């Protein structure tokens, strides 16, 4: 019966972590998965998370099921974080939000919603994009296509290509946009370009679906990093948003996030929420409690919220610093090449431009584990390893 089941390929990102764990090379460096590490390359539990857990444990709460849509305080906090507290759309009751399983789970509920209620719509996904986007929509049976995004020549945004592709998209299509800190390129549209994309979505009747996985990691400021979805709402667009607390609150394994829909009126929001609940019930029933309680505790408590912002800036700042150090090391070792893209790119990643063969050299010869699209997670780098990494990159570029 099962003899004909073919072997699935390793995941392009999490498969790298598996390979890293299996390596016995003492110099091994994991720059694959986007997960924050401290200067000792150890995972971090934020202080605010520990404090929030202390508060939660002291209340001695039960382990009952949450409602299908999730924890009320969490949903409110998450929408506030996205749109800003007291946003008119919130006051008008035209926001539907369902707590879901971090970014992936929220995107998947969104994909299921599209499959059911926007039948036949194509989802346009940036090229390149996060390795899981194609699986999420493909596995729901939603057709997806690429739109041009990255210009390798300028190591910047291919705005012309993006505009042409979205202009050619049939009305009613969905456009998946990275809210900030585009993964894997670290290249975001400028505010003016965002405004033009919003206008294009409006003119062409395209539905924007924002993937917001790095709020706080682009500029270190939660509000600034929500610029794009807020702008689209301001311009009168209906939007879908998936939000994740994996990176900004370091709640990776707790699977904390939400799918948010900002729609035209309260009645539509009520009906959409009822359908999101219907979809979630069949997918996983109801979301997990612990991480949502932590996020709600942090966002809804002024003192913890302020402390969180400081800790987040600390994480973003460490990444900024190693970015600068890596660029300087590469400029010293290989001055004939322009490395300035490393500090121009934002967020957790650098998109190095290394080819798959060069990535193989990085991994096989130098035990630097990274995704084959040439992305490195700078959250997995420390000062002590900068020289080692720079040598490996220079050697791979020359090969």
- Of the pair 105, 208, the CB lying nearest ligand LMR is at 105
**130 touches ligand LMR (CB under 6 A):** yes
Q: Between residue 14 and residue 43, which ones bind ligand LMR under the rule CB under 6 A? A: 33-34
Q: Name the residue nearer to ligand LMR (CB basis): 89 or 368.
A: 368
122, 183, 243, 350: which one binds ligand LMR (CB under 6 A)? 183
CA–CA dist 303, 103 (Å, integer) = 26
Q: How far is the CB of 321 from ligand LMR (least distance, A)?
A: 20
Cβ 169 to ligand LMR shortest distance, Å: 25
Provide, rounded to whole angstroms, the least separation between the CB of residue 207 and ligand LMR.
23
Q: What is the Cα gyration radius of the chain?
A: 21
Q: Is 174 left (phi over 0), alpha (psi -120 to 50) or beta?
A: beta
**Judged by CB, which is closer to ligand LMR: 178, or 318?**
178
Concerning whether 211 is annotated as a catalytic residue, the answer is: yes
Q: Tell me whether residue 13 or residue 109 sits nearer to ligand LMR (CB atom).
A: 13
Clarify whether 247 is annotated catalytic.
yes
Residue closer to ligand LMR (CB basis): 33 or 97: 33
Task: Count residues binding ligand LMR (CB under 6 A).
Answer: 6
Q: Give the shortest CB-52-to-ligand LMR separation in angstroms.
A: 23
Given the residues 51, 130, 158, 225, the one annotated as active site? 130
Q: Which residue is nearest to ligand LMR (CB)?
A: 34
* 130 carries an active-site annotation: yes
Q: Which is nearer to ligand LMR, 134 or 202 (CB)?
A: 134
Catalytic residue among 51, 144, 247, 385: 247
> Cβ of residue 112: shortest distance to ligand LMR, in angstroms?
19
Selected catalytic residue, list 165, 211, 225, 373: 211
Residues near ligand LMR (CB under 6 A) are 13, 33-34, 130, 132, 183
Q: Which residues are catalytic?
A: 130, 211, 247
């Amino acid at each position: 019966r099962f003899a004909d089941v073919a072997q699935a390929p390793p995941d392009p990102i999490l498969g790298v972590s598996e390979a890293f764990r299996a390596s016995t090379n003492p110099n091994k460096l994991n720059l694959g998965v986007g997960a924050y590490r401290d200067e000792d390359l150890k995972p971090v539990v934020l202080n605010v998370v520990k404090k929030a857990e202390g508060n939660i444990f002291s209340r001695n709460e039960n382990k009952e099921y949450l409602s299908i849509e999730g924890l009320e305080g969490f949903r409110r906090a998450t929408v506030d974080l996205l749109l800003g507290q007291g946003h008119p759309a919130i006051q008008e009751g035209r926001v539907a939000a369902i707590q879901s399983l971090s970014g992936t789970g929220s995107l998947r509920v969104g994909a299921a919603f599209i499959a059911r209620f926007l039948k036949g719509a194509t989802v346009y996904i940036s090229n390149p994009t996060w390795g899981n986007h194609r699986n999420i929509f493909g596995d729901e049976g939603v057709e997806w296509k690429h739109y041009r995004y990255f210009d390798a020549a300028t190591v910047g945004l291919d705005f012309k290509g993006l505009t042409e592709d979205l202009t050619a998209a049939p009305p009613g299509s969905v456009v998946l946009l990275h809210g900030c800190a585009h993964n894997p390129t670290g290249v975001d549209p400028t505010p003016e370009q965002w405004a033009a994309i919003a206008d294009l979505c409006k003119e062409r009747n395209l539905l924007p679906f924002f993937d917001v996985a790095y709020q706080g990691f682009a500029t270190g400021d939660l509000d600034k990093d929500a610029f794009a979805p807020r702008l689209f709402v301001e311009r009168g667009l209906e939007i879908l948003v998936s939000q994740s607390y994996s990176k900004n609150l370091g709640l990776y394994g707790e699977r904390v996030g939400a799918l948010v829909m900002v729609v035209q009126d309260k009645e539509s929001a009520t009906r959409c929420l009822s359908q999101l609940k219907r979809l979630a019930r069949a997918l996983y029933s109801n979301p997990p409690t612990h991480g949502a309680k932590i996020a709600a505790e942090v966002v809804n408590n002024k003192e913890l919220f302020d402390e969180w912002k400081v800790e987040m800036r600390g994480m973003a700042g460490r990444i900024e610093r190693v970015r600068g150090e890596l660029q300087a090391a590469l400029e010293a070792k290989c001055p004939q090449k322009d490395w300035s893209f490393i500090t121009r790119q934002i967020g957790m990643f650098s998109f190095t431009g290394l080819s798959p063969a060069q990535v193989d050299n990085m991994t096989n010869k130098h035990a630097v584990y990274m995704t084959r699209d040439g992305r490195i997670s700078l959250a997995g780098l420390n000062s002590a390893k900068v020289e080692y990494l720079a040598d490996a990159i220079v050697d791979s570029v020359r090969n």
